[in-house]
Structure formats: structure tokens, C-alpha cells
Structure 1
């Protein structure tokens, strides 16, 4: 006869130990903090050992608790993978949530390549700028800009981003040096301090970095630059296709690194699902090609 504690108590302990927080464990498991605490106490009573040291609101694992966590985590991962494999036969489309600018400027022009490689994978794409809450189970994969810190999601670096002036070839003819930017309209993305930081890094004085056009979408910034409305501080990854086609040019070589990069994120239980793996591998390969084309460092 197997000696197995209540599974709910095991889940509560594993989540609480992994986060070192009953509050975050409760959020992950969609129960109350009191329920997590009660189940952990129940498990400790069942085992006859203390798993946590509690000092006010701070939690640390005892030696026994740490040993138990090391044994339990791979067990839960195997259970998750087995469940995912079992459900693959019944799985529906791969549901994506993607930043609007990334979708329109970069992803959509490349999706036909993925369809040609994997015609059996059906994609449903939603364009959204909001941060993806891991409790929102409408999606399987999200592509977002940030630092990759999303609780409950496995986030992998997709591409770095750099900021550099871009404009139409006609506007570029007016620019012999960065100081000539005083003659043209500056087009801003948000946050609006990008131009100021680029001008400071390039040592340019006398250009009012606050004047010009401001858009809250990087795709609209590039569209305005293509139309000849001024010089945009463009995100080079998103501008890659326009630069290659000659619709935009980069009049000055100075690139301002952006702390925020692009990330592909998904719930950890989906790590081994076939369509998730296929799409993610294709996405990473395409991003590496684009990054090399515009001189951005590859994300590892």
C-alpha cells in the first residue's frame, strides 16, 4: 500500500516552498492564503515534521522541507508533462497574445513561413498591449516587451532591442550630422525620454527633444517615419523589414540599447506541448536572423 499524503496538501506545500510565500502560492493555485496555510499544517501533522520556519511573514524551509521540495518538484513536473501529452490529442489551436506593434511590424510578415513548415498547427492570434496575467488561461503563448519577470510563467528571451533614428530616404537627404536633427520633426515613442537619451549619448546639443509627434504604439511611429513626417527613434527589430526594403534608412549609426527586450512566455505546464515547442523554436530562430540583420546582440 502506497503511503501518500493528501494531494492538495502536497500541492500547497510545493507551491509555497517554491515561492517562499503562501500569498503567491495562493494566487497560483487560486485559493486563499488561509487555505494554503491550513493545508501545509495538515501536511506537517501527517508527516510529523516541520517543513517551514515561520518568522513573522517571512518563510524559510527547514532542512527536511528543502529535501522534500527537491523530491516533489520533479514529480509534479512529470505529472504536468504526462497530463499535457494526454491532452495533446484533444488540443485546439495554439492561442497567441502578442503586442500590436510586434504583431504588425514583425510577426505577421513571417507567419506564412511557419505555416509552410507546420501546416498542421492552427494559430489564433490576439493583439493586446496589456501585461499578460498568468491566471488568464485564454492564451497559450504571449510575446511581450519587458524584463522577463512574470510570476507563474516561463519566460525566455526572444530578442534584444535598440533605438536609433530612422526616416524616409527623402528626409535623410536633409541630415548630414546629428545636429541637423534641429531642422526636422522628431517622432516619439513612449516613454518619451528616448530621444533625450539618444541625443545625450550622441553628444548633440541644441535640439529640443520634447517637441514633435508622439505615439503610444511603436508601429505607428514607424508608419509616420515612412510617410516622411519626420525622424523617428525607431525600435530596430521592428524596423528591420522597412530598413531592408529601403522604405526607411538609418541616417546615423548610433544605437541606444534598450533595457527592455522581447520575451516569449507560456505557462510552465505547456513546456513540452508539441505545438508550443514548434512555434517557440521557429520564433527564436527567426528572431536571431533579424537581430543579426540589424546588428542587435542575440538573446541567450
Structure 2
């Protein structure tokens, strides 16, 4: 038996906004009308769909499951309606890690806009792995690689490499009595451990503890982490990047945080080895939505742009 169909878009809106009043504003109806439709649906299902907590609401376990099942169906109904009406849906929500969004994605968005001027992209920034659900976004960049109903495409294998500001680079060269850049490359290729003579910037957002990033970098050279290193400690890779930009020392950052084609990039990649973190980034989207134009546009563009990171 079909549920009361009028209640379904009301349920989806309340679940997405976590609020009866915000849902009422979006749907242009009264809050009591929203509450009435939710009550009708709950009575039909015989289950509570929301926990009420003052002005905010939260999905119950049954509510989350029901939303996951029906949300894609509602989207397909809307798309079929738009196709019959001759309207093409080009709105899409992309969930992406904060550092990836700030340093890699946003600088490239003008190119995406020129290529696909009708694509309306909304960015959902995440500090951790985003929940792979229509409630969160339509398209994801994630290190997750398995969930039923989703397709995953490899995007990027994460590496960390040392960077510093231009002024701190001059400090390094002065301390090592080096003038030409090629001599710096020679010095760091034969004695990469000499970086331990300078202040190093560490963050724990990748390995969950400070100095582990540099410990692995030195271990890759079969060298121990020297006890004499002066560390500046930060919680997140973005803070380490900013600290290096302000000449606090040498940081380990991702490939995607440096755009070597940009002459205004505030950091310089030092001529020495990188270390793989073991994490792989993937493009993820629902298999049932793989043929949507917005999904295909964004997928193809991201794959093309990511080739430079390989």
C-alpha cells in the first residue's frame, strides 16, 4: 500500500532541515500543516520518524532508514517531471573535505563555471568523512570506498611533501650556505635529514597524533626522527599550511594544497621526496543516479582536473 504521498516531500524537507519551522518556510505553508502531514505519515507507518527536541528535530533510526529508501524515488519523480516539462535539472550538492575544498576545488570553480554555466553547484564542507546519504549531498569526494548502492571511482592517492614560504626558503639556503636552487636539490637529495635542523610544523588530522607525519617521512628515508627537532603543533592540515605560509617552519602538506601553475602560491615545494599516507580519495555517487547530467558533468570535470595530481 502506498503511503500518503502528500506527506513524503514534507517529511524529506523536515529531515533535510532538521526543523519544522524551516520546512514550513521552504514549503510556504504553516508549521501546523507540516506537523499535521508528519503525523499522518507516522500514523500510517506505525513508527515515530523524529525525536522532538525543542525547536530542533532529529530522525529516529526508522526515520533515517525510511528517508534513505524514499529520497532517491522522490528525486527521480522530480527529474521525470522536469524532463516531461522540458526542464533540465543541473543542481548538485558536493560534499568534500575542508582542505580539499579550500585549496584545490574553489580555485578551479571559475573554470567549471565557464565549461558548464548552467550547473548550480553547492559545496558541503566536511572535516571528517561525510555520511554517504542523499541527506548530506548528491556527490562526494571521500576516502570511503564501500557502501551498497554507491559507485566509487579512484581520484587521488594521497602524498605529503615538505613546503615552506619563500622567505623561510632563504633562511634554509643561508643556514646551509647554498645559493643556486640546484645546489639545494643536491643537498637535500644526499642529506634529506638536514631538514631536522629547522623548525618543523606538524598536524594530527591525518594520523591522529602530532609528529607522526614527520616520523613517517623520516622512516621512509630509513632515518629515526631526531629528538632535537623543534616542532610547532597544530590540529589540522589547513593550520599547518597557514603556519608555513607565515614562515613558522617547514610543513608536510598534500599535493592538492599546492597549485604549481599559480604564480601567487605562497608556499614552495622543497626538492626532496614525498611520502604516501596510505589514503586514497574516491568520487562517490549513487549508482541509480549515474546517468544524470549534473552527475556526469561533475564526474568528468573532476577526473580531468585530478590527472595533474597523479
- CA distance in 2 between counterparts of 1:163 and 1:235 reads 5
Cα drift, residue 242 of structure 1: 8.1
Query: Is 1:277 the equivalent of 2:291?
Result: no
Q: Number of residues paired by the alignment?
A: 222
Cα drift, residue 151 of structure 1: 4.3
Report 1:60-209 matches (<5 A): 86=80, 89=87, 91=89, 93-144=91-142, 146-173=143-170, 174=172, 176=176, 177=188, 178-190=192-204, 191=207, 192=210, 193-205=212-224, 207-208=226-227
Cα drift, residue 233 of structure 1: 1.1
Structure 1 residues 82 and 125: alpha-carbon distance in aligned structure 2, compared to 1, 3 A threshold: closer
Aligned to 2:243: 224
CA contact (8 A) 1:270 1:276 kept: yes
- CA distance in 2 between counterparts of 1:209 and 1:242 reads 36
Cα drift, residue 84 of structure 1: 7.7
CA contact (8 A) 2:93 2:137 kept: yes
CA contact (8 A) 2:164 2:268 kept: yes
User: Taking structure 2 as the reference length, what is the TM-score of the superposition?
Assistant: 0.61
Cα drift, residue 209 of structure 1: 8.7
- CA distance in 2 between counterparts of 1:209 and 1:152 reads 51
Name structure 1 gaps, 5 residues minimum.
1-5, 8-25, 32-78, 292-296
Query: Aligned to 2:294, what secondary structure does the other structure show?
Result: helix
User: Taking structure 1 as the reference length, what is the TM-score of the superposition?
Assistant: 0.63
Cα deviation digits, residues 211-239 of structure 1 (max 9, x gap): 52233332222221121111001112222
Cα deviation digits, residues 148-173 of structure 1 (max 9, x gap): 23444322111122111111123234
Query: Aligned to 2:268, what secondary structure does the other structure show?
Result: coil
- CA distance in 2 between counterparts of 1:284 and 1:172 reads 33
CA contact (8 A) 1:160 1:261 kept: yes
Name structure 2 gaps, 5 residues minimum.
3-60, 67-72, 177-187
Aligned to 1:30: 65
Structure 1 residues 148 and 235: alpha-carbon distance in aligned structure 2, compared to 1, 3 A threshold: same
Aligned to 1:212: 231
Cα drift, residue 203 of structure 1: 3.5
Structure 1 residues 187 and 172: alpha-carbon distance in aligned structure 2, compared to 1, 3 A threshold: same
Structure 1 residues 246 and 138: alpha-carbon distance in aligned structure 2, compared to 1, 3 A threshold: closer
Cα drift, residue 207 of structure 1: 2.2
